[in-house]
Structure 1
Amino acid sequence: MTNIHDIARISGYSVATVSRVINHRPYVSEPVRQAVLKVVRQLDYVPNAVARDLSAGRTMSIGVVTPMREHPYFTELTHALTQAAFARGYHVVLLPSQYDASLEKRYLEQLRRQAYDGLIFTSHTMALAQMVPYQKYGPVVICHDPGAVDLPAAYSDRGETYLEGYRWLKAHGAKQVGTFLPRAPKRSATAAAMVAAYQTVFGRAPAPELLVEDVMAPASGYAAAAKLAAVGVDGIFTNGDDIAANAWRYYQDHQLPEPLLVGQEAQLSGRLLKLPTIDHHFQQVGKLAIALATGELTGQHAVASTFMAP
């Protein structure tokens, strides 16, 4: 494969001069530039983009660590991240983690070895404090509120809309309210925020039987509804409109009185069923996260979610 040493040998100019011509640098006379370019054309030389980017201290790639779950939080946020990265000329490398801390650590080590210009964690298992030391190798961005931990972050501020969702259920007469959670509250900032909002609105912690965990894929709403139907709820705060639609289908299939339902993610299914829902504005979150990962922004940026009643 042709390289700049071949061009230098054939053209008779130094490697440094050839490099200046290829990289459009100054301090090369026009006759010399044309002579070098003539050899470049003869040899059909194409610069190695990867090597050039690395020599400039960048890879033009952003790693996006995701559990690769079916929940719209991951699919819509990943789509937004990809769009924002491509608009800046960056590639996105999807890094599936399945909430495996050892894989998350491996991706951070790859950042240390300059495999990416930055890493974005859509969700994670590792403690935030373990990520902080890797900041010296490139931005490590998270997509939830980091609290007191000094990490760049872009996330939806969901607290007020979770309160609005439970208040809506309470105002419409729901007394026995169940909640679908993505993971256990001690492992998920989202789940913890939902439980905290329930406690604020109802003045007590939710009974364990009113919480259904690991509700991620839309179809899981059906089985989760079966668990709450056995308890006898009259309202359910779900974690996705498609999930809520499958919960509604369970009650329809079993000819049971439908509980009040609150969705999330502002999906078409929610509009068709005329459910109250929450728009977490993932497009904005994705743009901010990419700007942090590329170094255009620093700090922590929250985007306020929007509660939408039918």
Structure 2
Amino acid sequence: MANIHDVSKAAGVSVSTVSRVLNNHPYVKKEKVEAVKKAIIETGYIPNINAVNLKKGKTHLIGIVLPFLDVPYFSQLVQGISQAASVHQYKLVLYQTGYDEHQEKEALEMLKLKQIDSLIICSRKISLETVEHYQQYGSIVLFENGEDTPLSYTFIDHYACFMRALEYLYEHGHRKIGFSVNRLEGANSSQRERAYRDFLKLKGLPFHKDYIFKKCLNIEDGERILREIAAFQERPTAILATSDQVAAGIITSSSNYELKVPRDLAVIGFDDQPIARAMQITSVNIPLYSIGQILFEQAIAVEISHKEVSTELMERSTV
């Protein structure tokens, strides 16, 4: 394989001149540029991109940490990030971690080793203190309310939008309301749980720990919720589902448990995915694609920034 010295010899110029041409240096005579380009074709020379990036101090690679890629919530975020990356001629490196702290740490180490320029963390299990330690090695952006963190972040006020959904159900006569989450220890889920407890206290309603359904992400989990509810002596009359997929699972399985939505069980989903619009599911619209674009812009920006994105309750036929 030809190297830069072969190109230099074939073009009849110095190695430094070849290097300047490869790096688009503006002060190289036109005839020398043409000679180098011709020599590159003749020798079949392929530049060492890693070496070029090392010299420039940029890889034009952005890392994305996310637990699952096959969940619409995260895939739509990635689509937004990807679109923005293509405009700026960046490429993406995906770290699908399954909430494994070791794998999340590996992504941070990639930033430390300068193998990526920036890191976008869509959801995490690793401590915020650990993440902040790596800020010295490059830009890190969070999709959560980082509050006092020195990192850039974009967030949804999950407390406020959960309160709005709960109030909507209350206005429709529901007093026995349950909700589902994937993991309660997550930053967003903990805000929803806090809103739920505060709402019950505000309205003077009893708290039922069984009304919180955990490890829910997919359509199958919606059916599992109904299976659990069937064993209750006192059943909830409404469910705030983790996502539209879980909501869809509840709705499609309801006839198996002799329930009608919304007469016997009202359902509100989250994210307002295409399945919610197709099935007329009442849902909280979270503009994930646009959020992905914002996260990318923050990842390549010089300044630290904090952005809040608003949500909207989409009223349909399941409440």
Which TM-score applies when normalising by structure 1? Answer: 0.92
User: Is 1:236 aligned with 2:239?
Assistant: yes
Partner of 2:197: 199
Q: CA deviation at 1:295?
A: 2.5
Distance (Å, rounded) in 1 between the aligned partners of 2:92 and 2:32: 39
Aligned to 1:4: 4
Q: What does residue 288 of structure 2 align with? A: 282
Q: Kindly tell me: are residues 21 and 71 of structure 1, through their superposed partners in 2, closer, same or farther at Cα, counting changes over 3 Å?
A: closer
Which amino acid in 2 is paired with 1:239? T
> Residue 24 of structure 1: SS of its match in structure 2?
coil
Partner residue, 2:23: 23
Equivalent position SS for 2:309: strand
Distance of 2:224 and 2:303 partners within structure 1: 42
> Which structure 2 residue ranges, 5 or more long, are not aligned?
none
Distance 1:288 1:206, change over 3 A: farther
Question: 1:4/1:254 Cα in 2 relative to 1: closer, same or farther (>3 Å)?
Answer: same
Q: Which amino acid is 2:236 matched to?
A: V
Residues 293 and 206 (structure 1), Cα distance of their counterparts in 2 relative to 1, 3 Å cut: farther
1:255 aligns with 2:242: no
Find the counterpart in structure 2 of residue 161 from structure 1.
161
Contact residue 264 and residue 279 of structure 1 kept, 8 A: yes
Query: What per-residue deviation string (whole Å, max 9, x for no partner) do you get for residues 211-249 of structure 1?
Result: 011101222111022213433111111111221121122
Separation in structure 2 between the aligned mates of residue 32 and residue 86 of structure 1, nearest angstrom: 32
Match of 1:33 in 2: 33
Question: 1:4–1:309: structure 2 CA closer, same or farther, 3 Å change rule?
Answer: same
Structure 1 position 131 matched with structure 2 position 134:
no
Moved more, 223-232 or 85-94: 223-232
Q: Quick one: distance in 1 between partners of 2:105 and 2:22?
A: 38
Q: Which residue of 2 aligns with 1:222?
A: 223
CA offsets 1:123-165 (integer angstroms, 9 cap, x no match): 1111111111211111111111112222111222333221111
Q: How far is the alpha carbon of 1:297 from its aligned partner?
A: 5.3
Please tell me whether residue 152 in structure 1 is matched to residue 152 in structure 2. yes
**Aligned letter for 1:218?**
I
Q: Which amino acid aligns with 1:118?
A: S
Structure 1 stretches of 5 or more lacking a match? Answer: none
Q: Distance in 2 between matches of 1:206 and 1:64?
A: 38
Q: Aligned-residue CA RMSD in angstroms? A: 2.0
Match of 2:74 in 1: 74
Give the match's secondary structure for 1:264. strand
- Are the equivalent residues in 2 in contact too, given 1:71–1:218 (CA < 8 A)? no
State the 1:70 CA deviation: 4.2
- CA distance 1:272–1:107, shift in 2 (3 Å): closer
Report if aligned partners of 1:183, 1:213 keep a CA contact under 8 Å in 2: yes
Cα distance in 2, alignment partners of residues 281 and 62 from structure 1: 21
Counterpart of 1:212 in structure 2 is: 213
1:253-299 CA deviation, whole Å, 9 max, x = no partner?
Answer: 12135311111111233234433211111122101111122236532
Q: Which range is displaced more, 43-52 or 175-184?
A: 43-52
Bigger shift: residues 210-219 or 12-21: 12-21
- Percent of aligned positions with the same letter in both sequences? 27
| TM-score, scaled relative to structure 2 | 0.89
Aligned-partner residue type, residue 107 of structure 2:
Y
Runs of 4+ aligned residues of structure 1 deviating over 6 Å after TM superposition are none
1:69 Cα offset (Å) = 5.7
- C-alpha separation in 2, matches of 1:224 and 1:19: 63
CA distance in structure 2 between the partners assigned to 1:71 and 1:205 by the alignment: 33
Residue pair 1:139, 1:293 contacting (<8 A) in 2 also? yes
Between 1:7-16 and 1:165-174, the stretch displaced more is 7-16
Judge which range, 192-201 or 275-284, deviates more: 192-201
Q: Please, which moves more after superposition, 10-19 or 83-92?
A: 10-19
Q: Is the 8 A contact 1:111 1:138 kept in 2?
A: yes
Residues 1:26 and 1:249: Cα distance change in structure 2 (over 3 Å): closer
The answer for the alignment partner of 1:173 in structure 2 is 173
